[in-house]
Amino acid sequence: MIPLRSNIAEMNGYLPGFQPKEPDYIKLNTNENPYPPSPSVIAAIQAEVGDSLRRYPEPASRLAREEAGRLYGFDPSWVIMANGSDELLNNLIRAFAGEGEEIAYIHPSYSYYATLAEIQGARVSTFGLTPDFRIDGLPQRYNGKLFFLTTPNAPLGFTFPLSFIGELAERCDGMLVVDEAYADFAKGNALELVRSHENVVVTRTLSKSYSLAGMRLGLAIARPEVIGALDKIRDHYNLDRLAQVAALAALHDQEYFRECVRKIRETREWFSAELRAMEYEVIPSEANFVFATPPDRNGGRLYEGLFNRRILVRYFTDPLLSHGLRISIGSREEMATTLAALREIG
């Protein structure tokens, strides 16, 4: 018998969205960006490929931190770069929740928090949503070590108002992690709460809005004491040389970024309106996906129908979600093809 820790032996592990080998799918299942990364990102990566790869990268990803600090209006001591925002979620649990201590998140949201807690041996508590998308049964004070709030929510796409997030931060004895993986597609964000509340951490990713899922780049904004703790925990070379130059170039090219986000939001609004005209229920989305429920409330049937037409979307068997589908926003053409397929499936 291999002497694994019992929690590792017993856990299932996280199942990421399906990544088909064949390129001919319309891929709307993992909230990737339909547009390529900025040309300046490609140029920066190409320029870095060569002899420099013999050398370790700069350990703190200093230039990328400075660029992110400038962009968001924070001193670089309030910023950390990561190998995907998943790395930050992992390290936040390692920093704040010991074995047997509790973390919480909303169900439905990003279930990877639970996997990470399981690895750590931390306990997990989940809160549901009220019909008007507030937290169901939240106690006056939440005394767990970490509360993960995904806003915009995935997979539903709505956002929590800033005043509500501020109130939640005040009701948390531990840290409030505001997972803003999709905030670039939303009207607002919670960055100002990092200044006003010492227990707030905001995490971001370059996977979605910067078209860099394949590069694995994320960042967090928090007080320097929190950033210092995360710096102690991370792999000392957590961003390789290519990732560092890619992050710097991507964050710098705001014109390209804004145009991609604008197109995705425009397509999202058009696609949502078309679905509503077909009598689907569509939750108003502030992300790069929509959660849509067909009139017969049978998400599985539609998933199959789309899959057979080589269109991949996300279907969840969870009874809270099985009535609908999460559909990432692709290009206008991809979404037109998807609408035509949905009409055909009926």
Ligand X SMILES: Cc1ncc(COP(=O)(O)O)c(C=O)c1O
Interface region with ligand X, contact rule CB under 6 A, candidates 3-11, 82-90, 228-236, 276-284: 82-90
Contact call for residue 316 and ligand X (CB under 6 A): no
Q: Can you tell me the distance from the alpha carbon of 240 to that of 280, in angstroms, rounded to the nearest whole number? A: 44
The SS3 call for residue 148 is: strand
d(CA 118, CA 293): 32
The 97-126 site mask, x for binding ligand X (CB under 6 A), equals -------------x----------------
Q: Which of 64, 181, 261, 302 forms a contact with ligand X (CB under 6 A)?
A: 181
Asked if 153 and 128 count as a contact pair (C-beta separation under 8 A), the reply is no
Tell me whether residue 85 or residue 211 sits nearer to ligand X (CB atom): 85
* Of positions 154, 169, 226, 312, contacts ligand X by CB under 6 A: 154
Which of 115, 159, 207, 267 is the binder for ligand X (CB under 6 A)? 207
β-strand pairing of 79-82 with 102-106:
unpaired
- Cβ pair 272, 282 in contact under 8 A: yes
Cβ atoms of 330 and 29 closer than 8 Å? no
Interface size with ligand X, residues (CB under 6 A)? 13
CA atoms within 13 A on the CB side of 65: 20
CB of 296 to ligand X, least distance (A): 27
Token pair, residue 238, equals: 């957590």
Q: Does 92 interact with ligand X (rule: CB under 6 A)?
A: no
Decide if residue 285 touches ligand X (CB under 6 A): no
- Beta carbons within 10 angstroms of residue 171's beta carbon: 16
When asked if residue 294 is in the footprint of ligand X (CB under 6 A), the reply is no
Query: Of 34, 37, 144, 218, which lies in the binding site for ligand X, with binding defined by CB under 6 A?
Result: 218
Residues lying near ligand X in the complex (CB under 6 A) = 31, 84-86, 110, 150, 154, 179, 181, 205, 207, 213, 218
